Structure formats: structure tokens, C-alpha cells
């Protein structure tokens, strides 16, 4: 269910959430330059 | 306030380097030392766009992101206020689109020898410093 209401912004302080976790590898990126060389 | 440090990032392949102020983010986890930057910084290092990169899933506090990882692509040098090298480590370069500030992760902080004294006041020392040494976070550029 989506909460209904208004968001009040009493101050301009930015909120940054620092959690950051490098999880599993999901693939390999091959750039277009490599493809041009026939390395894909 | 948080702890930030000045790092010289040296790209091993291109030979290019750049000094940046990074957030020492103890809430960021990686299995090997790494620095996370936005594509523009990677481009200045001659490493973006990559010919080939590993793609990883990253879990953040409220979202899931996708990042590009260049294994052991850079050497990180931790700099003092005067610009001398305190320590260095070989690291992966992680490129994340939309990143608002470069970060280093838990193991990177440890391997560079950064010891946080106060997160709220942005104070730290290097592991080789005398016990009374207190270093302040540089002003974010």
C-alpha cells in the first residue's frame, strides 16, 4: 500500500545513505571498440 | 561531517593520474580494495569508456545499482595535507553512473591505514602517525 500525504521539508540539509555493498558479478561489458576489432 | 581524505588515483594502463577527495565510507563493503567514481573521473584517467569491464550488482540502502569494475586498474595513494604519500594500495576501479561523490570502501580504508578518530568532526590519523597526531578532512571541492 502506498502512503498518502504530504512531504514537508523544514530544512535543506541533504540526507545521504551510505550503505553500499558490492555483491555478485552479473556479466561482462564489451565496449564497441572491442567489437570493432572483432574481440567480442 | 564525515571523514574524507585526499587520494591520488593512478591509472596503471594509461599512466594518467588525478587527485580527488573521497568519502571514507565504512558502510561500503567490497571483497578487495576499490575506489568508486563516476564516469567523468574514469574518463579523465583514460579508463572510460572501457574496452571490457566486469559488471556487478551493488546493494545500496534503498536501491539496487549496476556498476562497472576494472580489476586492479589503479593504484591509490593516500596523501597528507602537504601532499606527501602516506601509503598506497593497488585497487579495482568501480564506475557508477549517477554517483554524487567518490567513495572508498571498508577494506580500502583499512589497507590505506586510515584510522577514524571522529566521524562527526571528520578527524582521522594514519596508522603510522604518532598517537597525538590528528588530521582533519580536506574541504570538499
For residues A17 and B6, the model is more confident at B6
**Second CATH level (architecture) for the domain B4-136:** Beta Barrel (2.40)
CB-CB under 8 Å, B60 with A22:
no
Predicted pLDDT of residue A11: 60
Predicted structure pTM score: 0.88
Residue range B7-66, pLDDT digits in tens? 999 999 999 999 999 999 999 999 999 999 999 999 999 999 999 999 999 999 889 999
Per-residue model confidence (pLDDT) at position A40 = 40
**Cβ contacts of B100 on chain A, cutoff 8 Å:** 16
The predicted structure's pLDDT at residue A32: 82
pLDDT at A5: 78
Q: Which residue of A has its CA nearest to B92?
A: A22
- What residue of A is the nearest CA neighbor of B32? A22
Q: Does B60 touch chain A (CB under 8 A)?
A: yes
- Spell out the per-residue pLDDT of chain A, length 40, in tens: 777 777 776 665 555 668 999 999 999 999 886 655 544 4
Q: How many residues does chain B have?
A: 141
Cis ω for the linkage preceding B49 (within 30 of 0): yes
Give B98-112 pLDDT, tens digit per residue. Answer: 999 999 999 999 999
Q: Which of B67, B75, B28 is nearest to B50 (CA)?
A: B67
Taking an 8 Å cut-off on Cβ atoms, the answer to whether B50 and A31 are in contact is yes
Question: pLDDT tens digits for B72-98?
Answer: 999 999 999 999 999 999 999 999 999
Interface predicted TM-score (ipTM) over 0.90: no
Residues 6 or more apart whose CB falls under 8 angstroms from that of B12 comprise: B72, B73, B74, B75, B90
Comparing CB atoms, the residue among A17, A23, A33 nearest residue B57 is A23
Q: Could you tell me whether strands B64-79 and B114-118 are parallel, antiparallel, or unpaired per DSSP bridges? A: unpaired
Domains in chain B: boundaries: 4-136
Q: How far is A35 from chain B (nearest CA, A)?
A: 9
Amino acid at each position: 500500500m502506498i502512503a498518502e500525504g504530504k512531504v514537508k521539508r523544514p530544512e535543506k540539509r541533504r540526507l545521504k545513505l551510505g550503505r553500499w555493498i558490492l555483491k555478485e558479478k552479473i556479466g561482462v561489458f564489451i565496449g564497441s571498440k572491442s567489437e570493432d576489432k572483432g574481440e567480442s | 561531517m564525515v571523514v574524507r581524505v585526499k587520494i591520488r588515483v593512478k591509472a596503471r594502463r594509461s599512466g594518467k593520474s588525478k587527485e580527488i577527495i573521497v568519502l571514507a565510507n565504512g558502510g561500503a563493503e567490497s571483497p578487495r580494495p576499490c575506489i568508486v567514481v563516476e564516469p567523468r573521473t574514469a574518463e579523465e584517467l583514460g579508463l572510460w569508456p572501457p574496452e571490457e569491464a566486469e559488471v556487478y550488482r551493488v546493494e545500496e540502502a534503498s536501491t539496487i545499482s549496476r556498476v562497472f569494475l576494472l580489476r586492479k586498474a589503479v593504484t591509490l595513494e593516500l596523501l597528507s595535507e602537504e601532499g606527501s604519500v602516506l601509503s598506497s594500495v593497488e585497487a579495482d576501479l568501480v564506475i557508477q553512473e549517477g554517483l554524487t561523490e567518490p567513495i572508498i570502501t571498508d577494506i580500502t580504508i583499512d589497507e590505506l591505514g586510515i584510522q577514524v578518530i571522529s566521524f562527526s568532526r571528520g578527524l582521522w590519523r594514519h596508522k603510522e602517525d604518532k598517537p597525538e597526531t590528528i588530521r582533519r578532512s580536506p574541504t570538499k571541492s
